[in-house]
Homo-oligomer: A and B are copies of this chain.
């Protein structure tokens, strides 16, 4: 079993707040992340596939194809967007890095599975100091 990871980049605006709470309570919990006029990040996305090398190519998955797939299925929907307003698969969800990684997994995994391969991990780097990992 070998693990292959492809890295892609995008950037987006978002805001963390809970509509059921007062502004005061949102500020207590989310701090500056609750700014009503949004803030944003350069996200770095790592997608990992696991499998055995194909005896005809030495690949477990074509890294170029994987990059194109991530761009078509994920980056196209989120790059230079507002995660709270513009992204269908995040509609009605808190746009925390945790939920966003789960959302990205759910978008990509069926496309990997359809090709007979196994997705292993989504790693999402939100800032140089914060990243999350989801394994399905």
List A residues at the B interface (Cβ < 8 Å).
1-9, 11-14, 16, 18, 20, 29-33, 35, 37-42, 53, 56-60, 62-64, 67, 79-82, 85-86, 93-99, 101-102, 127-135
Contacts and interface: CB of A to CB of B under 8 A. Distances in A.
Given A13-B37, A40-B40, A63-B130, A2 B98 contact: yes
Given A4-B97, A11-B39, A41-B42, 12 more contacts: A2-B134, A9-B127, A20-B56, A35-B80, A37-B85, A39-B80, A40-B41, A42-B128, A53-B98, A57-B94, A58-B93, A58-B95
A35 B81 contact: yes
A2 B16 CA distance: 18
